[in-house]
Amino acid sequence: MKFILAYGDSNTWGLIPGTSARFPWEIRWTGVLQKQCENVQVIEEGLCGRTTAFEDALRPGRKGCASLPPILETHAPLDAAILMLGTNDCKPVYGAGAYAIGKGIGLCLDELEKYLPAQRILLVSPIELGENVWKPEKDPEFCRNSVAVSRELKEVYRRIAADRGAAFLAASDFAAADDADNEHLNREGHAAFAAAVRKKLKEMGVV
């Protein structure tokens, strides 16, 4: 049995677009991935609002690089890890551009590399935020500029993965945010993303 950590935010948790509810396990990309891979356990560690390195003053415990050490110790030993964070970092309250968010993802990678070689880590740039995500009926924690920043993460993360020798995947190449909230994967998006992750893990020799 191989153990793969999936560390992310609400799109790993499986939030149903436009609601506060959660997709069933068999629809979430982590569940789809596990069903498609033999002798693999995908360890779900998704949390709504999680960032790379910023603390949410209203919701403690969302700082991704700080939460990773006990999670990694809990689930060790691991065979691989999938890291997909950065969407929540685009909120104006953090005042971070793509470069700073990249620094935050680097801190997460630092923690992962204490338990895994870089080539066993899959760094994923998240899906892009939709044009209207910031509107009051969707998620006003974001702003217009959040959309632009989210679009810049792909190339920033690609460079970081290349520099570290980690694998890279852009979720935005395979799925998009649902129109219901311009932020989260729908059922089809989870399925498409899971297929892309499985293909990349096969290339990495993990599954």
Of the candidates 140, 204, 142, the one whose C-alpha atom is nearest the C-alpha of residue 167 is: 204
Q: Indicate the pTM of the whole model.
A: 0.97
Of the candidates 29, 24, 45, 34, the one whose C-alpha atom is nearest the C-alpha of residue 1 is: 34
Per-residue pLDDT of the chain (207 residues; tens, 9 = 90+): 999 999 999 999 999 999 999 999 999 999 999 999 999 999 999 999 999 999 999 999 999 999 999 999 999 999 999 999 999 999 999 999 999 999 999 999 999 999 999 999 999 999 999 999 999 999 999 999 999 999 999 999 999 999 999 999 999 999 999 999 999 999 999 999 999 999 999 999 999
